[in-house]
Chains A and B, each alone.
Chain A
Amino acid sequence: MKLVVAIIKPFKLDEVKEALRSIGVNGLTTTDVQGFGRQRGHTEVYRGAEYQVDFVPKVKVEVMAHDDQVDQIVDAILKTGRTGKIGDGKIFVMPAEQVFRIRTGERGPDAI
């Protein structure tokens, strides 16, 4: 089992979600996050005072996946999350040790 974590542009979330759903992903978790990579932040001006804001708003998408699903999931995110402009984000894939479904107590791949 793997945990796929993608940091994407917020307005891309719906497209990414639909693409994942269409390849059989049954659940995911999103979080509003802020961070920076190569994309620079923006400048805000209030009454003549200029502020550089480094942290850019992004959405973090977390998907638990069976090992054989991972490539498909990554491909889907790469395809739908991409604009080609700087700031499209990152995908991290990491091993997941165990999964439990809280309601039934199931564990392992069945609980995904």
Chain B
Amino acid sequence: MPKIDTGDTAWMLASAALVMFMTPGLGLFYGGLVRAKNVLATLMQSFVALALVSVLWAVIGYTLAFGPDKGLVIGGLKYLGLHGVGADPAGLAPTIPSSVFMVFQMMFAVITPALITGAFAERMKFSGWLLFLGLWSLVVYSPVAHWVWGGGFLGVGHLGALDFAGGTVVHINAGVAALACAIYLGKRRGFGSEAFRPHNVPLVILGAAILWFGWFGFNAGSALGANGLAGSAFVTTQLATAAAVFGWLIPEWIKHKRATTVGAATGAVAGLVAITPASGFVGPMPAILIGLIAGGVCFFAVNLKSRMGYDDSLDVVGVHMIGGIVGALLTGVFASVAINAAGANGGLGQLGKQAIAVAVTLAYSFVVTMGILKLSDKLVGLRVTVDDEAAGLDLSQHSEVGYNFSERGGHVVHSPVVEATAITRDAAVEPEEVRE
């Protein structure tokens, strides 16, 4: 029986925590890009994914993805309710406890649907999102994770498509689901005429930085151990992301005469997305190339959006779907067994395998996401009313406001404190007089 390695276990626990931090980071990245009246609702969409998907994953999501294979399409129910997922080594990660492998994978399951929220920003009902989120996690995420990583038909030993840390499973999957959401929900009111300017660009930069930081757990952690491969993935992650910043800024500078901070942040995310599938299979110089290409391609993809006729509000398609496809295909070009013996060498054959995995993921996720959207819409409704959209989701969905800069207005209607001390609004007095 394989032996638990303490170094591997320590790194994987740290990696799981790093990946956990990406989801609230994503919330800040998206939250800064929306208008001030929707900042909390946008943060909440990511935050609540952390809550709901964690529980679902433990109850059934994990076993559907990583339980014993059933017909190459889904995991069996052996680990239902985390039955038997404890201190013993995991099959796919023989040197760490299966509980650690499970919780590392949980964080991926959390962030993937959270990525989708950028597509329908500023117009989705909270109840609609919750229902969609739960269904999507189980019906789309778990099966696709199984196909690629859990012993299904796309992964090692079958098709043999390479996806080190989730280019297909996470980014293409979420990106194409985002496309379905943008099409199904329709445009925000005022799209194309009003200026939907980001309300807080520093939040965008902070969010992007947290994503970059957490991504070391995402990619280097996908080595499933503290070893040379993790080091290699760490390096490629840093280099591709750095190069992608310029991949975006250079064409932006030429076209718009300015290099923007939102552009630098978006380019970085595009690079992180693209290197994800390749991070454990390619060397440092190909990583720089992958980043440069991804930054540039995503810049042009995002710029094409206005001609596509849908309102993918925060560019999930342009960054995650397109960036994911670029990364998945370039993995098939630059992969080398000198970097990872369990991988493959790049070439036409591997490129073909990558393309099949991309196409299957695109088709399955798009079609099933559409179905889930229709079902959720029928059951609880997805889009907020015209008035609620105008008022902003913070107020209409959560009865809160993100920024209370003014002391004006507002008095207590109900408060536990008020009831205990029987201070009414009329009796409210200056602090000086209270002391008398």
Contacts and interface: CB of A to CB of B under 8 A. Distances in A.
Interface of A: 44-53
A48 B299 CA distance: 8
B36 interface: no
Interface residues of B, number: 16
Contacts of B299: 48
A48 B198 contact: no
Given A51-B195, A51-B197, A53-B195, A46 B256 contact: no
Which interface residue of A45, A46, A47, A50 has the most chain B CB atoms within 10 A?
A47
Interface of B: 195, 197-198, 252, 255-256, 258, 260, 262-263, 266, 299, 302-303, 306, 315
A47 B266 contact: yes
Nearest to B302: A47
9 contacts: A46-B198, A47-B263, A47-B266, A47-B302, A47-B303, A47-B315, A48-B303, A51-B197, A52-B195
Interface of B is mostly: helix
B286 to A, nearest CB: 27
Contacts, number: 28
Given A49-B306, A50-B256, A44 B197 contact: yes
Nearest to B248: A47
Contacts of A51: 195, 197
Contacts of A48: 252, 255-256, 299, 302-303
A64 B299 CA distance: 54
Which interface residue of A44, A46, A51 has the most chain B CB atoms within 10 A?
A46
Which interface residue of A45, A48, A50, A51 has the most chain B CB atoms within 10 A?
A48
Contacts of B258: 45
B306 A46 contact: no
A51 B195 CA distance: 6
Contacts of A46: 197-198, 260, 262
Nearest to A49: B306
B29 to A, nearest CB: 13
B303 to A, nearest CB: 4
Contacts of B256: 45, 48, 50
Nearest to B256: A45
